[in-house]
Structure 1
């Protein structure tokens, strides 16, 4: 069974704080199954964006787990905002979590590309 989006986001935010990073929920989406996007602010003017991994990445993954893929790396804020606006046009029920971390940690599983 997969965790609901609101529960997952809550756990992600708590994990960030426990690792001395700051996290905030920028946008709340559908409680049960809204897609989750993670923005990492590296505090040097560069941002990374992670989104839900494609279904093909789940082969061998733990049942119910969530995986993310890199969408943008070392991008500027405008590029991240444009990409998120595009995602919101396709699905307005997305969650956006922003993490401030100089090390650029995402705190969850990312698929290798």
Structure 2
């Protein structure tokens, strides 16, 4: 079975809309390729800490899941994101700001 994939730009707009329904501020900080760009989510908890999530393909199960790319001091996470962008100019970066650490990536339609 072939899994249909949404265009990146469409997925990003849907994700931003879902976050807004929960009053979770989010911003596109890097606009990637509208069709096939990968998406990286930075969760800023507004206390100097952050986490970056990327979607990865599991070869054993065929699932696509969100994995933590980096976490810790926000400056360290920003440096990791900058490294990712240095070799992937099509990468989208969305910054989510939530003191409670909500990112909604584990919800239906976004989790995998």
TM-score, normalising length: structure 2: 0.83
Task: Please point out which of 71, 93, 99 is paired with 2:69.
Answer: 71
Q: 1:92 to 1:15 in 2, by over 3 A?
A: same
Instruction: Using the TM superposition, give the Cα deviation of residue 58 of structure 1 relative to its aligned residue in structure 2, in angstroms.
Output: 7.6
Runs in 1 of length 4+ with deviation above 4 angstroms? none
Q: 1:28 to 1:21 in 2, by over 3 A?
A: same
- Between the two proteins, the alignment pairs up a number of residues equal to 105
Task: Please point out which of 64, 83, 86 is paired with 1:86.
Answer: 83
Question: Who is 2:55 aligned against?
Answer: 52
Is residue 29–residue 92 contact of structure 1 (8 Å, CA) maintained in 2?
Answer: yes
Of structures 1 and 2, the one with the larger relative CO (CA 8 A, separation 6+) is: 1
Q: 1:76 to 1:11 in 2, by over 3 A?
A: same
**What is the distance in 2 between the residues matched to 1:58 and 1:2?**
19
Instruction: Using the TM superposition, give the Cα deviation of residue 103 of structure 1 relative to its aligned residue in structure 2, in angstroms.
Output: 1.2
Question: Who is 2:37 aligned against?
Answer: 34
Three-state SS of the structure 1 residue aligned to 2:90 is coil
Question: Who is 2:12 aligned against?
Answer: 9
Identify unmatched segments of 5+ residues in structure 2.
none
